[in-house]
Chain A
Amino acid sequence: MANSKSSVVLPFLVGVVASLVLGWWAFPKVLYSQKTQPIRFDHVVHVEDQAMTCDQCHTFRENGSFAGLPTTQSCADCHSDVQGEDPEEERFVTEYVQQGKEVEWLVYQYQPDNVYFSHIAHKDIECTKCHLDVANMKNPPVYYENRISGYSKNTMKMWECERCHAQNGASNACFVCHK
């Protein structure tokens, strides 16, 4: 009874600290599940050893649309047979190239269907401004999937697009980005 004041302040502070820790550290750990790509694609082997450039696989089509992640067919241009010693590559050839199947890549920047993004309109911007710098990675980064919304942790939200548009004088009209 004599220390009734401190038995209010201390629990309060404990509560604040605990919730801060829970909110900033535990919550993200729980919220995101970790996934790996179906094939452990090694960018370094392609970029350094094979001296390939980004646009050899991530191309613009003739009509200006962006091919995005290459199809199994375009990988098969080189990988119709096993090229190296990596067991992942062998798995790719047997399970995907030879079966004519597409790899279900987990897209870090996956946007919902109601979003329209035109890569060619942004072709003068560095890829890494929005995308993870995978070109230097031997292994694809961990894919963090939000357990509630189903989207990737790295999926850009609208405010990032809007900010850059506003800073660069591009239109922020709704239909520029929505469909």
Chain B
Amino acid sequence: MGLDRRSFLSLVAGGVVGSLATPVVWKTLDDVSIWSQNWPWIPRLKYGEETLLPSLCKLGTDAYGVQVKLVAGHPVAAYGNPEHPLSRGGICPLGAASVQLLYSPSRVRSPKKRVGDSFEDISWEEAEALLTEQLKAAGKDVALVSGDDTGSAAEVLAGLVAALGSEQTYFMPSEGAAAAAALGLLGGDGLVGYDLEGADYVLLLGADALGAWGTTLRNAKAFADGRERAVRVVYVGPAMTATAAVADAWIPCTPGTEGVVAMGLANMILERRALSNVAGLEQFRKQAAGFSPDVVATRSGVAPETLLGLAKELLVAGKPLVVPGTTAAQGLAVSDAAAALAVNVLLDRINMPGGVMVLPWGPKVVAAAPDKKAMMGRDVVGYLAAVAAGNAPAPKVLLVHAANPAYALPDLKTIQTALDKAGFVVSFSSFMDETAAQADLILPDSLTYERYDDAYTPYGSGQANYTMAAPILKQPLFATKAAADVALGVAAKAGVDLGFASFEEVLKAKAEALGLDFEAAATGTVWLGTEFAVQQLDLAKVQAPALQESATDVTLVPVANLKIGSPKVATPPFGTNVISPRELQGKDMVVAMNAATASKLGVRAGDAVTLSGAGGECRARVRIFEGVVDGAVMAPLGLGHTAWDAFSRGKGANVFQILGTQTDVAGFTRFATAPVGVRKA
């Protein structure tokens, strides 16, 4: 008997009915739905024992302790360190993104040698041999630019360059250097610090203390504590920055005139308070007399009544503190810093609780290295400009460490000329930044979590402090090496004895010099100094800021913003989302000006404009924001990268490109603000 159609259908029907009584249909549906939620490209989580290890974050200009959470030995997140005096549990945007930076697509994963327009990966032996050969041939025509002004690694590198016979060792520009130079101008000697925790009235002359200035996290904690004690915080500056937004008052002033305001305050204080025991007082009084309220009002836009109000607040406060600074967190004029220091002197705030603290320079353990005071006292912008102009010999070998001069210096065209003139450019950068991208040799430094690192008294600290960090990872993720170890190895090959075989030994010596136990330091104990060098300051030496009318119509006010990046680091992968339409629209940088300025310039909200300055031009979009003085344009720093990776490349424009420089009355370069032309694009 064959299976006819009816039987066949009946068989099938039976099969279906039976299947419904089996798990086949239901289980298959359930399993398929699970399968559809487990695509292989969705990452799976890894579990394991959690540990918390202390380390440092030095990605910005600050240096503070963090704690890194590891799961089964892999770092997963960074948190603030409640025990660290410069963190007190908080973390900055860069620190919060620091663990993921370990795997940034722009990390340089092995030494690279330039071959034509691109790079060839080479071994460390070959790389170190190449550098040794170049150094031997260069003799004393070697220069160093380092951005690590708190760490011992820079001391090792500077020691190498100095031992080869060169004095061309520079730090990247910093406000700490300008402040120390100002203190030196007044006859003082030491690092400048501020006891923000002890003050009851803080007058910020341009210093964006809660933005990207100084010890930003500790500033924030001190500010929050101050709120409980009714500490009054006043911000004087051309723009409503993050600090101005939460300060008790914003006193708008023309860009770059904070020093003029300081002199005006000095003048008013001298009129109202009899002072004695201040060296050079009479000469200073004559200088200050040139800054009468009307003169200050014309130059800075601060009305006489407002200036008088500030002076009275300073005189009435028990522990006032005047802090100079800039929104760019660099390029501060030494004369402006000196004027602010002078006001603190008049108020008897030097080395007093809640005042300006003069801190020791810190021990130097690499004997061949220049003193930090000498190195900080040199102006890298001036040097590179001289090299570009042919007034100084171009270095045959230029070492660039923890710095990105091809991006983060003003008057970039001139800087680029200098870099082009330099013979053999070596970058120790961990990332393919703009300088590394044009270097002849890249010797990638391991990141802080992968090696030893340290920081001595970041600028702004109220007392001397020292933090060491031991490596968090058992070994670097890629073929990178600590720059200091590379330098020590190359030194030995080049016949230079720096006295140490490894960076760890250098740190042991540094700990010993401070009287700190190395093991304790390497596991997170922070050293705090209690010494403040007595100063004999002479106000006669103050060189007041220049008063001449500048002929500019519009001034550029660059604002450093940690979430966008820092001079060392471009926007990290986790930072892109936090950049708002107020800073970046599509691929255009957004600049802010008030309605009156826009109307004068003939531009409207959303217009594309070209900004032109001494250094070059760049494109931006206009945002109308009433938190900028008339005639000023606020622009975010940190955009416009041309190297790095897709997270930061090609977004916005690099404001450093249009910043020009001016030589300040005291010889340093000032560049925190610059004249700018604005026209519709």
Q: Would A and B touch once assembled, by the CB under 8 A criterion?
A: yes
State the A residues within 8 Å of B (CB): 4, 7-20, 22-24, 27, 31, 61, 63, 65, 67-68, 71, 112-113, 146, 148-151
Inter-chain CA distance A159–B22, complex, in Å, is 19
Contacts of A7 in B (CB 8 A): 1, 4, 6-7, 10
| B23 sits at the interface (CB 8 A) | yes
Q: How far is the CB of A101 from chain B (nearest CB, A)?
A: 13
Inter-chain CA distance A7–B45, complex, in Å, is 57
B38 and A23 within 8 A (CB): no
A149 and B34 within 8 A (CB): yes
Q: Which of B14, B24, B27 has the most CB of A within 10 A?
A: B14
A16 and B22 within 8 A (CB): no
Inter-chain CA distance A18–B45, complex, in Å, is 43
| B41 sits at the interface (CB 8 A) | no
B44 and A113 within 8 A (CB): yes
B10 and A11 within 8 A (CB): yes
B18 and A112 within 8 A (CB): no
Interface residues of B in 1-35 (CB under 8 A from A): 1, 3-4, 6-8, 10-19, 21-24, 27-28, 30-32, 34-35
15 sampled A-B residue pairs with Cβ under 8 A:
A7-B1, A11-B10, A15-B10, A15-B11, A15-B13, A16-B15, A16-B17, A16-B18, A18-B18, A22-B19, A23-B22, A31-B31, A63-B50, A113-B45, A149-B38
A14 and B11 within 8 A (CB): yes
State the B residues within 8 Å of A (CB): 1, 3-4, 6-8, 10-19, 21-24, 27-28, 30-32, 34-35, 37-38, 44-45, 47-50, 72
- Summed over the interface, the residue pairs from A and B with CB atoms below 8 Å come to a total of 100
Inter-chain CA distance A24–B20, complex, in Å, is 11
Contacts of B10 in A (CB 8 A): 7-9, 11-12, 15
B interface SS class: helix
11 new A-B pairs (CB below 8 Å) besides A7-B4, A14-B14, A15-B13? A11-B7, A19-B14, A19-B17, A19-B22, A63-B50, A71-B49, A71-B72, A112-B34, A148-B32, A149-B32, A150-B35
Q: How far is the CB of A70 from chain B (nearest CB, A)?
A: 11
Query: Known contacts being A11-B10, A11-B11, A16-B17, is A149 close to B22, with CB within 8 Å?
Result: no
A11 and B44 within 8 A (CB): no
A18 and B32 within 8 A (CB): no
Contacts of A10 in B (CB 8 A): 7
B34 and A15 within 8 A (CB): no
B44 and A15 within 8 A (CB): no
Inter-chain CA distance A20–B21, complex, in Å, is 7
**Contact for A18 among B6, B8, B15, B50, CB less than 8 A:** B15
B14 and A148 within 8 A (CB): no
Contacts of A8 in B (CB 8 A): 6-7, 10
Contacts of A71 in B (CB 8 A): 48-49, 72
Which 7 A-B pairs have CB atoms at the shortest separation, nearest pair first? A23-B22, A15-B14, A19-B18, A11-B11, A16-B18, A12-B14, A148-B31
A interface SS class: helix
Inter-chain CA distance A103–B340, complex, in Å, is 64
Q: How far is the CB of B252 from chain A (nearest CB, A)?
A: 49
Q: How far is the CB of B26 from chain A (nearest CB, A)?
A: 10
B24 and A27 within 8 A (CB): yes
Q: How far is the CB of B273 from chain A (nearest CB, A)?
A: 58
Inter-chain CA distance A14–B3, complex, in Å, is 12
Inter-chain CA distance A9–B17, complex, in Å, is 13
Inter-chain CA distance A149–B37, complex, in Å, is 9
Inter-chain CA distance A147–B243, complex, in Å, is 59
**Contact for B49 among A11, A14, A61, CB less than 8 A:** A61
Inter-chain CA distance A112–B27, complex, in Å, is 17
B44 and A19 within 8 A (CB): no
A20 and B50 within 8 A (CB): no
B35 and A149 within 8 A (CB): yes
Q: How far is the CB of B506 from chain A (nearest CB, A)?
A: 30
B27 and A31 within 8 A (CB): yes
**Contact for A11 among B3, B17, B47, CB less than 8 A:** B3
Contacts of A20 in B (CB 8 A): 18, 21-22
Contacts of B24 in A (CB 8 A): 19, 22-23, 27
Contacts of A9 in B (CB 8 A): 10
Inter-chain CA distance A16–B35, complex, in Å, is 29
B14 and A13 within 8 A (CB): yes
Contacts of A15 in B (CB 8 A): 10-18
Contacts of A31 in B (CB 8 A): 27, 31
Which residue on chain A has the smallest CB distance to residue B23? A23
Contacts of B12 in A (CB 8 A): 15
Inter-chain CA distance A87–B384, complex, in Å, is 69
**Contact for B31 among A18, A113, A146, CB less than 8 A:** A146
**Contact for B35 among A12, A14, A113, A148, CB less than 8 A:** A148
Q: How far is the CB of B30 from chain A (nearest CB, A)?
A: 8
Contacts of B4 in A (CB 8 A): 7
Contacts of B72 in A (CB 8 A): 71
Q: Which of A8, A15, A68, A71 has the most CB of B within 10 A?
A: A15
Q: Which of B17, B18, B24 has the most CB of A within 10 A?
A: B18
Contacts of B8 in A (CB 8 A): 11
Query: Known contacts being A4-B6, A9-B10, is A19 close to B35, with CB within 8 Å?
Result: no
Q: How far is the CB of B38 from chain A (nearest CB, A)?
A: 6
Q: How far is the CB of A51 from chain B (nearest CB, A)?
A: 26
A19 and B6 within 8 A (CB): no
Q: How far is the CB of B79 from chain A (nearest CB, A)?
A: 15
Q: How far is the CB of B268 from chain A (nearest CB, A)?
A: 59
Inter-chain CA distance A19–B20, complex, in Å, is 9
Q: Which of B3, B10, B38 has the most CB of A within 10 A?
A: B10
Contacts of B37 in A (CB 8 A): 112
Q: How far is the CB of A176 from chain B (nearest CB, A)?
A: 19
Inter-chain CA distance A78–B17, complex, in Å, is 58
Contacts of B11 in A (CB 8 A): 11-12, 14-15
Q: Which of A14, A63, A112, A149 has the most CB of B within 10 A?
A: A149
Q: How far is the CB of B639 from chain A (nearest CB, A)?
A: 36
